[in-house]
Amino acid sequence: MSAPVLVINSGSSSLKYRVVDAERAEALAVGLIERVGDPKGGRLTHTVDGERHARDVAVPDHAAAMEAMTDAFAAYGPDLSTLDLVAVGHRVVQGGARFGRSVAIDDEVVATIEELADLAPLHNPANAAGIRVAREQLPDLPHVAVFDTAFHLSMPAAAHTYAIDRDVARKHRIRRYGFHGTSHAYISREAARLLGQEPEATNVIVLHLGNGASACAVRGGESVETSMGLTPLEGLVMGTRSGDIDPAVVLHLERTAGMDVADVDDLLNKRSGVLGLSGHQDMRDLVAAAEAGDADAELALEVYCHRLRLYLGGYTAVLGRVDAVVFTAGVGENSPQVRERALADLEVLGIELDQQANEERSSAARDIATPGSPVRVLVVPTDEELEIARQAIAVVGG
């Protein structure tokens, strides 16, 4: 049986789309429209049957981008009208405390997503704009919202509460929400499958290490702790984001360095992380520079891996029993150097990496722990679009 879903990720300046056959776990078409809103025009790429089509497109807004997408399907296929799409799944960044699961979209859901914009000013308005246009252009299909935060709504209060004045926190909805939930949900389930266990009986620590990076402690299929917080800035060291710092650094910069809110926002989100430390944002470049003897790159790599180890220790304490540590996303799936440094000498936590298995290149889900390691170490490729498609089907199907 085939069950194609159109998955849409509408960002502030881009529209990513994909037709995913959730039953067969394969992509039938993949597209990207860049520079949405740029008066100089944008660029569309659409890949189908291994062939990549590219063209310049005028995309002043999300409505135009969605039209460019429909045109691309008409020109290059597959034909959307004969595909028997089951649903349209929309990625939404911030679901607040309201959405603990994926939901069928109606006017009220769209309004709530817009209303949560103060928590995700860059993302939610763009997500909502994409949803509005898609519902207009594809009115006969059910639309489903899949939230980056939803998986983490199961975190206990002790984990999601910041120790600040409770009235201020309540008034401004300040708490830890966590992100990458679609990936953490998918990976923790796939990890259980690889271990031959039921998700409900499996405890894992997922390390989603892409450009953005987050850790998640999953107990019995539920997120009980994650490293991102109110925003994706908290937690691990990332490509350009600082992750955890003393919040007083912000005050210090504003008081003594003459920086305003926008300057600090830019510094911590775009000019920090391994980029800020070394000049290299891409992990491949960073590792190569460190191996060539660049001291800044070496320190950046050490800071990055030291933070990972802190979280591994903390999350082991949170979970009590850990069945596996799971690496995923660009860095996690592809960097043996990061995996090795992050897990070196962690026998005390029951983690023993098999050096040879770690070095082997593969795109398959795999176990890279020594045969005797009490905690397994897994590498599992993430597939957020497939997870969105599956969730959309689950919602539509009942």
Residue ranges at the known binding site for Mg(2+): 9, 384
Q: Residue 212, interface with ligand ADP (CB under 6 A)? A: yes
CB of 207 to ligand ADP, least distance (A): 12
The yes-or-no answer on residue 106 being catalytic is: no
CB 212 within 8 A of CB 179: yes
Q: Running DSSP on this structure, what letter comes out for residue 351?
A: B
Binding window for ligand ADP (CB under 6 A); candidates: 40-48, 83-91, 210-218, 351-359: 210-218
One of 109, 215, 305, 329 touching ligand ADP (CB under 6 A)? 329
CA-to-CA dists, residue 32 to 55, 86, 91, 390, angstroms:
11, 21, 14, 21
CA 152-157-162 angle, to 5 degrees, is 95
CB 46 within 8 A of CB 70: no
Catalytic option among 38, 79, 84, 148: 148
Q: Residue 12, interface with ligand ADP (CB under 6 A)? A: no
Q: Which amino acids are annotated as binding site for ATP, given as ranges?
A: 16, 208-212, 282-284, 330-334
Q: Residue 334, interface with ligand ADP (CB under 6 A)? A: yes
Please give the single-letter amino acid code of residue 296: D
How many Cα atoms sit within 13 Å of 243 on the Cβ side?
27
Burial of 298 from C-beta contacts in 10 A (0-12 / 13-18 / 19+) = middle
Binding window for ligand ADP (CB under 6 A); candidates: 158-166, 204-212, 298-306, 387-395: 204-212
One of 283, 326, 349, 369 touching ligand ADP (CB under 6 A)? 283
One of 284, 291, 317, 362 touching ligand ADP (CB under 6 A)? 284
Q: Residue 183, interface with ligand ADP (CB under 6 A)? A: no
Position of minimal CB gap to ligand ADP: 330
Query: Which of 182/373 has CB closer to ligand ADP?
Result: 182
CB 158 within 8 A of CB 186: no
Count of residues near ligand ADP by CB under 6 A: 12
Query: Which of 102/335 has CB closer to ligand ADP?
Result: 335
Scored b (16 or more CB within 10 A) or e, 158-196 reads: ebbeeeeeeeeeeeeebbbbbbbbbbbbbbbbbbbebbe
Query: Which of 187/268 has CB closer to ligand ADP?
Result: 187
Query: Which of 85/386 has CB closer to ligand ADP?
Result: 386
Query: Which of 76/151 has CB closer to ligand ADP?
Result: 151
Query: Which of 195/290 has CB closer to ligand ADP?
Result: 290
Nearest to 219 by CA among 349, 308, 318, 352: 318
CB of 300 to ligand ADP, least distance (A): 12
Residue identified by tokens 């050490």 is 302
One of 12, 161, 211, 370 touching ligand ADP (CB under 6 A)? 211
Q: Residue 335, interface with ligand ADP (CB under 6 A)? A: yes
Q: Residue 276, interface with ligand ADP (CB under 6 A)? A: no
Residue ranges of alpha helices (H) inside 116-213 are 124-137, 157-160, 166-171, 181-195
Q: Residue 240, interface with ligand ADP (CB under 6 A)? A: no
Collapsing DSSP to helix, strand or coil, 300 comes out as helix
**Does the N-terminal peptide bond of residue 371 adopt cis geometry, omega within 30 degrees of 0?**
no
Q: Residue 279, interface with ligand ADP (CB under 6 A)? A: no
CB of 28 to ligand ADP, least distance (A): 21
Q: What does the alpha-carbon distance between residue 18 and residue 9 come to, in Å, rounded to a whole number?
A: 9
Q: Residue 330, interface with ligand ADP (CB under 6 A)? A: yes
Q: Which residues does 349 contact at the CB level (< 8 Å), separation at least 6?
A: 312, 313, 316, 322, 375
CB 131 within 8 A of CB 143: yes
CB 166 within 8 A of CB 173: no
Binding window for ligand ADP (CB under 6 A); candidates: 62-70, 157-165, 206-214, 222-230: 206-214
Binding window for ligand ADP (CB under 6 A); candidates: 144-152, 254-262, 299-307, 323-331: 323-331
CB 52 within 8 A of CB 32: no
One of 235, 239, 243, 276 touching ligand ADP (CB under 6 A)? 239
Residues in touch with ligand ADP (CB under 6 A): 210-212, 239, 282-284, 329-331, 334-335
Tell me which residues are annotated as active site: 148
